[in-house]
Each structure stands twice: as structure tokens, then as C-alpha cells.
Amino acid sequence: MTAELSYVHPSPESPWTTYLSQVDRVLPYLGELSRWADTLKRPKRALIVDIPIELDNGTIAHFEGYRVQHNLSRGPGKGGVRYHPDVTLEEVMALSAWMSIKNAAVNLPYGGAKGGIRVDPKQLSIKELERMTRRYTSEIGIIIGPQQDIPAPDVNTNPQIMAWMMDTYSMNTGATATGVVTGKPIHLGGSLGRVKATGRGVFVTGREAARRMGLDLNGARVAVQGTGNVGGSAMELFAQAGAKIVAAQDHTGAIYNAHGLDMAALLPWLKQHGGVAGFPGGERLGNEEFWDTDCEIMIPAALEGQITADRARRLKAKLVLEGANGPTLPSADDILADRGVLVVPDVICNAGGVTVSYFEWVQDFSSFFWTEDEINLRLDKIMVGALKRIWDVADQHRITLRTATFAVACERILEARRERGLYP
């Protein structure tokens, strides 16, 4: 008899509850592997650390940090680190579990992991941010490593933070270990194409889904929530393909332009102002109104839990591309399926980032680096192949793409678990 985990108390709409319900939906398709299914419902290892640092004004501040390794059956852990005031153990557990699914869905030789610190990084100076990052890296250093667990950027983290993490780990182990993190600056072993890789993956899967639906991208109206690394790159690529970005929303507000926002003006504006608010090329839109936008494609690329049941009923899009992790609640999933809205789930849609992270890791080990064109071609090939396999399973069982992605991924994870057996 397997007891519930004593250290989490998930609410009905928490990320961990969402993940567990997604696993439950896939059990009927796992056959005899379902006897191992509880492996998927509990993380292998969860580390909570205290991060004390001296602030610039001389006071001592303490931050709460996490690193969760959900499943390592298929290889070392892989997953980002986020800095956000709302980070919790439960959220990091869900994100690490989605990484297990994502890595298996695109058949990368990784397990799933994730990390985070409960902090608003905008409140810290650059030196305070560096001290916090280095202390966090030292605290989780006992479980990370190029062959153990490889962190990467996520919400509010970037190549500079990865450089500090790599340097701290290297100093602590006495040798330069470029492969301990991915998403690094290029001259420290980073990969070309990594910055835009997640957004590119959203575009590639969106392009394939549109082709299957008979939706012409040229002139298609797109609404994007989240204008950071993922949403910004996806907007740019869809616009290059002839689509019109009619609405964009982020933490600063929402804007709308029925004729399409001017990307040549919007992208520099985002870089300079940190959000869409005040952009002269679009009219202001209420944050809730954003979800009523007339569009063919909706891209939620911000945080989890954004498409609620109410928003799912109002959504006008025919195609939802999940650039964020866990943006659609299970109740909303059912409504979208009933309405005939196609959802390309996060665990395949935004897997471009981890795929190019894998390329970076491989390049670091061989000290041989590829061109950006080579990387984009390899990314395209892997994403298209993975989506085709998932679509075949969806058609075979007449299930949603999300359940099909979980079916493919969980089968690979549990097959690896079964073949490895239990030790001791």
C-alpha cells in the first residue's frame, strides 16, 4: 500500500495536483508497466536549503532554496532554476516531474529535475544576486554535477547566473566543469541557438500542428501571454512566417492591434522597457480582456495555471501552444477538448530549450561546437520526429495530445525503471 506524501498538501489547482491528475489519465494506456506507476507520483529526492547572504547594507538575509530530482531512471537530472517570490517545494516538484516527462517525450537521455529560490530578484543588487546564486550553488552542490544533475535557466535566471553557478561548482570541485549547467554564455561553453531554442520549439510544433489542421500561418492571428525569452522568440518566428501578433500580455499589462503588432518596434521596446506597457503601436487591453482576443493561435508563455475553466470557455483560438510549464488546469483541458480546440502540451511544445541544452552538454563533453544552422536543423528534426510519434499514439487511442505525450514518456520512463530493477 502506497501512502500519500506527508510533506505536501496540494490545493485542487496547485501544479502538483495538476501533474498527478495528468499521470492518472495515462494509467489505462501503460499496460503491465502501470504496476510501476507510483514511481511517477513521488520525487526521488527533494533538497531544501537555507541561503544566508550579507546584503550591501551589512544586514544578513535568508532565502529558501530547493532542488528536486523527480526521476533519474533514464539519465542525470535536467531542469532549470527559477528565482521568484512564489516558488514553493510543491511547485518545484511539479516542474521537476514535467521535466521527466518532457525529456522522455523527446527521447533525451535525461531524468527530470528543477530548482528554485523564493526571492524577488528585482529587489537585489547585482552583487547580492551573485552572492545568493553562489551560496545556493554551494548548498545544492552535493547533488548536482555534469553526470548527476544539470541545472539551466528558467524564470528570472539567465546566462550570467549560469556562469556564476558553473564557476562556483568548478571552484568547489577544483576543476573547470563547463557541463554542470547549460544556458551559459557562449565563451564559457554555451551553445549557439540556446537563447531562442524554447521559443523556436514552440514555433516548430505550432507549424506542424497548423499544417495538420489545415491552418495557414500566413495571416493567422496570434495572441501571446508572456513576452520574455520564450514568448518573445515565438512572436518573432511566427511574425517571420507571416502570422499577425494581434495581442501580447505580460506582468506590465496587455496590448492589442487588430492589424498586427509591429515586431521590429516591439522587440526593442521589450528589451528597453521590460514589458509591453506603454508601447505606442497597440491599444491598451484589460488583463482579463486579453483572453477574449479574436485569434487563431493562443500561446500562454508565462507561468502555470493561467488557462482556467472560465477562460477556456471564452477562448476564441483553434490552437493553443503551451510555451509555459503547466499553463492549463485539468478542468480547462476537458473544456478545450470538448470545444475542439487543439492543445499542443507544454511537455512537447516547449521542449526546444532542453533539446538545445542537451546539444550544449554534448558539445561541452566533446569540446567540439556546432554552428547555429546545424543546431536549428537538429532541433527541428528532433521536435518534428517526437511530435509525429505522439500524434500517432493520439490517433491510435483517440486521446488528446497531452495524454498521448504522457503515454509515450511514461512508457519510456517506466520501461527504464523496470529494466534497471530495484536496488538493493
Catalogue the active-site residues: 114
Helices and strands, counts by H and E, the chain: 13, 12
The CA distances from residue 341 to 21, 201, 296, 401, in Å, are 20, 20, 10, 11
Q: 292 and 223 in contact (C-beta within 8 Å)?
A: no
Q: Which residues contact 386 (CB under 8 A, 6 or more apart)?
A: 105, 106, 107, 348, 351
Extract the C-alpha cell encoding 192: 549557439
Q: 151 and 159 in contact (C-beta within 8 Å)?
A: no
Checking 267-273 for CB contacts under 8 A at 24+ apart, the result is 267/232, 267/235, 267/236, 270/227, 270/232
The DSSP bridge partners found for residue 307 are 328
Distance, CA of 35 to CA of 180 (rounded, Å)? 34
Extract the C-alpha cell encoding 365: 563533453
Extract the C-alpha cell encoding 266: 516591439
Q: 8 and 15 in contact (C-beta within 8 Å)?
A: no
